[in-house]
Amino acid sequence: MSMTITEKILKHHSGNEKVVPGQLINAKIDIILAHDITTPAAISMLKEHNIDKVFDPKKIIVTPDHFVPNKDIKSAQLAKRLREWVSRHNIENYYEIGRHGVCHAILPEQGHVLPGTTIVCGDSHTCTHGALGAFATGIGSTDLAASIATGELWFKVPHSIKFQLDGKLQKGVYSKDIILNIIKDIGVDGALYKAMEFKGPTIDSLSIEARMTITNMAIEAGAKTGIIEPDQKTIDYLKDRTSAKYQIVKSDPDATYEKTLHYDASEIVPTVAIPNLPSNSRPAKDLEKQNISLDQVYIGSCTNGRIEDLRIAAQILKGSKTKKGTRLIIVPATTGIWMQAKDEGLFDIFNEAHAAISTPTCGACLGGHMGVLAKGETCLSTTNRNFTGRMGHPESKVYLASPATAAASAIEGKITDPTEYI
């Protein structure tokens, strides 16, 4: 029976000879990713049922990231509980502050994401890891507790939607622009509990980091996961990160999809999502004409805080200054990326542009700290969500864009098409 990559991975992990969309299965979990927000709640649930165990400490990866450095007593207590739990169960893969990172950046960076595996985390953007051909999905704290104790979890096999992208991207257009256009087309619930499978020459041309931006935002269309078939770039990416064995899984040529959507990548332009949904996308050039002034520009997060993103921003910012009245905050996604950006001289460019450079943290993305917005303020962000109050006051506004658009907009102090800066 012909199957998609998602169906094949779930078939293998459930022990079934075949699976079909809509079927309920129980699947083995290869990796559980844990951070400082949802994991303490899962630990509490286990404690309430007198369960104080982990199914396999080697398969649990822990990295505090949402409120690090801890912003208050409550967040410090959460981090302490996580730290004590890690110690009690001898969990080796613990990335404490100083060698930490945003969870969906550090997991692939450190070689924990392998093609053909299953990955869960109490975080909606776990679908990021599908960029390496894994079935990765976000879960709630209750399911997280169950998977920590048993190493298994139930799923409904999702229908798959194929997104076929052909053509060459224009100057100034990046993977963020691709996914914003797709979400605009299908809506925030257009792939509800589906597997969004991205294919075609355009996807093949992208780096692994750029692919992660696309799969990261699959959840913004309601998807259960986003996934891309592994190729030679995947193999090369993993070569320097892990010696673990893995299996390349790909969709059968005659696999059945719920539907297939075709895109000509050459027609995509620099794009910005306006408040208050990621689906509210507009061409950056159209918004530029509206003179939308910016109080803050934020470059970072699990969507666009990788070294490739920082290089793109630095290329545009070099020799320029952030517009007076606009704050520019740059957050490398991991300690490793922070060090690499520093060593490459990117920090010099950012500092000369009057940007503030932060240690890795999710803080500002969810309105926690390190860049919270006040009432009436407007921010252009490279993050993944622009819901009401997402980055601070409910009467603030958040626009979403690529690092290129963000950098150009920081220079101008208003939403700006980056094409002339490339």
Q: CB–CB of 301/403 below 8 Å? A: no
Q: What is the pLDDT of residues 210-243, one digit of tens each?
A: 999 999 999 999 999 999 999 999 999 999 899 9
pLDDT, residue 321, reads: 98
**Could you tell me the CATH number of the domain that includes residue 399?**
3.30.499.10
Q: CB–CB of 383/397 below 8 Å? A: no
Residues 224 and 291 in one domain: no
The reply to whether omega before 275 is within 30° of 0 (cis) is no
pLDDT, residue 306, reads: 98
Q: Looking at the domain assignment, is residue 374 inside a domain?
A: yes
> Mean pLDDT, to the nearest integer, of 150-163?
98
How many CA within 13 A on the CB side of residue 162? 21
How far is Cα of residue 360 from the mean position of the Cα atoms in its chain?
14
E strands in 190-338: 195-199, 225-227, 259-264, 271-273, 281-283, 296-299, 327-330
Residue 144 pLDDT more than 90? yes
How far is Cα of residue 406 from the mean position of the Cα atoms in its chain?
17
How far is Cα of residue 104 from the mean position of the Cα atoms in its chain?
6
pLDDT, residue 174, reads: 98
Residue 177 pLDDT more than 90? yes
Instruction: Read off φ and ψ for residue 221, nearest 5 degrees.
Output: -105, 10
Can you tell me which residue has the tokens 């709630």? 140
Q: What is the pLDDT of residues 1-44, one digit of tens each?
A: 899 999 999 999 999 999 999 999 999 999 999 999 999 999 99
Rounded-to-integer distance, Cα 405 and Cα 281, Å: 13
Q: Looking at the domain assignment, is residue 277 inside a domain?
A: no
Residues 249 and 296 in one domain: no
Provide DSSP, 207-244: -HHHHHHHHHGGGGGT-SEEE----HHHHHHHHTT---
Q: What is the pLDDT of residues 40-95, one digit of tens each?
A: 999 999 999 999 999 999 999 999 999 999 999 999 999 999 999 999 999 999 99
Neighbours of 242 (CB within 10 A): 15
> Mean pLDDT, to the nearest integer, of 144-161?
98
> Mean pLDDT, to the nearest integer, of 124-144?
98
Q: Is the pTM of this model over 0.95?
A: yes
Residues 295 and 233 in one domain: no
**What is the domain count for the chain?**
2
Instruction: Return mean pLDDT, the chain.
Output: 97
Residues 217 and 321 in one domain: no
Can you tell me which residue has the tokens 């962000």? 381
Share of the chain above pLDDT 90, in %: 99
pLDDT, residue 86, reads: 97
| Domain carrying residue 350 | 282-416
Token pair recorded at residue 381? 């962000």
Q: Looking at the domain assignment, is residue 275 inside a domain?
A: no
Q: Looking at the domain assignment, is residue 273 inside a domain?
A: no
Rounded-to-integer distance, Cα 367 and Cα 301, Å: 12
Helix (H, G, I), strand (E, B) or coil at 201: helix
Q: What is the pLDDT of residues 323-355, one digit of tens each?
A: 999 999 999 999 999 999 999 999 999 999 999
pLDDT, residue 1, reads: 80
